[in-house]
Amino acid sequence: MNAFPNVTVVSHPLVQHKLTLLRRKEVSTAEFRRLVRELSLLLAYEVTRDLPLEKTAIETPLEPMQAPILAGKKLCFVSILRAGNGILDGMLDLVPSARVGHVGLYRDPETLVPVEYYLKLPEDVGERQVIVVDPMLATGHSAAAAVTRLKEAGAQQIKFVCLLTVPEGLRVMQDNHPDVSIFTCAIDRQLDEHGYIRPGLGDAGDRIYGTK
């Protein structure tokens, strides 16, 4: 029996290849940023697979036709600051018309509990499918806190996208938000005593922005 039935591991060969390149400690900041953007675009393709369509009348150069187009309100991407912005950029390459929200959370280094310092969302977030993005779902506390705030703001359709996660973080999300589907490139072995994913890829925010 699948312990995490709401989790999709995107096993596409290109995703797995680029994730391996991303993990390498010798990768430069510029290369790391480029790989995150490419992975984000591929993940966006997977997470939007079930978007509803409707027919609209258009004219091709040869004749009129009824053609499929996205139905209703479009997406809202919500980035968990700051590292989530690295994934956000790639997703907006694929869906440039999406609305964008931000949740600012930092993890207390002693307690590992998330502390919120910023929240800005579209007014109609309750009418949109919301995709929350953060490179790492580690302890799961920040992700769970962000989703809780989104639900308080009216969001009803929520998915979560990350590059990497671990069973500990998935259990926290499952316990707090069993209705939220999670898309990831890999489920790694475990967290270490500092709350880092092992084997992981280090601190995604520091590697994206070159701050360490």
Question: Is 40 marked as binding a ligand?
Answer: no
Q: Please tell me whether 137 is known to bind a ligand.
A: yes
Which residues are CB-neighbours of 39 under 8 A, at least 6 positions away?
15, 18, 19, 22, 87, 90, 163, 185
3-class SS of residue 177 = coil
The reply to whether 82 sits in an annotated binding site is: yes
The answer to whether 141 is annotated as binding is: yes
Rounded (10°) angle between helices 13-23 and 29-47 = 150
Considering only CA atoms, which of 184, 124, 182, 133 is closest in space to residue 156?
124
- Residue 138 and residue 109 in contact, taking contact as beta carbons nearer than 8 Å: no
Any binding-site annotation on 1? no
The one-letter code for the residue type at 147 is V
Beta-sheet strands, E only, within the chain:
7-9, 53-59, 64-70, 75-81, 99-107, 114-120, 129-133, 136-137, 157-161, 164-165, 181-184, 186-187, 190-191, 197-198
Q: From CA 4, how far away is CA 149, in angstroms rounded?
A: 23
204 is in an annotated binding site: yes
Is 62 assigned to a binding site?
no
Q: Is 107 marked within a binding site?
A: yes
| Catalytic residue list | 107, 111, 203, 206
The answer on whether 142 is annotated among ligand-binding residues is yes
Please check if 128 is assigned to a binding site.
Answer: no
Instruction: Give the residue ranges of the annotated binding site.
Output: 82, 107, 134-142, 197, 202-204
Instruction: Give the residue ranges of the annotated binding site for uracil.
Output: 197, 202-204
